[in-house]
Amino acid sequence: MKELFAKLLFVSIDILVIFISLSLAYLLRNLLGDTFGGVDSYPLANYTSFSPLYIIIIILLTYEGIYAHRYDFWHESRVVIKSLFFSLLIILAYLALTKSIQDYSRAVIVFSFIFMAFLLPLSKNICKKLLFKLGLW
C-alpha cells in the first residue's frame, strides 16, 4: 500500500511539475516577446490543457522505470532527461503530423522541456527525502 501511494504521489508531482514548467515557459516566451516576434497570441490554457504532452511524458517515464526502480539522483536525472528528449521529439512530430504546429509556440514547448529537465529530477529528489522521513519510502 505504501508503494502504491508513493507511485501515485510521484506521478501527481510529475504532472504538477509539467504544468508549472509550461506556465514558466509561457511567461518566459512572453518576456522575450521581442526576440520571438511579439507576445504569444495563444492563451496559457492552450498549452496547459494539451493532454498529449502529459500523457507522452508520463508514459516514457514509466517505460524507463522511473516509478518502478529506485535510482540515485544522477542516474535518475540522466534517465529523466533522456525520456524528456524523446518526449520532445514525439510532441513536435505529433504537432507537425496533425498540422496543429501553428496553434502552439515551439519556443514555449522547448522552454518547458528545459524547465522540466531541471525541475523533474529536483522534485523527485525532494519528494523521496520527504517520503523517507515519513517512513513511506
The three state secondary structure string of 38-97 is CCCCCCHHHHHCCHHHHHHHHHHHHHCCCCCCCCCHHHHHHHHHHHHHHHHHHHHHHHHH
At residue 2, the pLDDT reads 76
How many distinct structural domains can be found in the chain? 1
- Kindly compute the dihedral angle of the four CA atoms of residues 25, 31, 34, 40, in this order, to the nearest 10 degrees: 50
Q: What is the pTM of this model?
A: 0.88
- Kindly compute the dihedral angle of the four CA atoms of residues 58, 61, 66, 68, in this order, to the nearest 10 degrees: 70
- Interval 34-82: pLDDT, tens: 666 666 667 877 888 888 999 999 999 999 988 888 888 899 999 999 9
At residue 36, the pLDDT reads 66
At residue 70, the pLDDT reads 82
Q: How many CB atoms lie within 10 A of CB 99?
A: 8
15: confidence class by pLDDT, cuts 50, 70, 90? very high
Query: What residue type is 97 in one-letter code?
Result: L
User: In the predicted model, what is the mean pLDDT of the chain?
Assistant: 87
Q: What is the domain extent for residue 56?
A: 2-134
At residue 91, the pLDDT reads 93
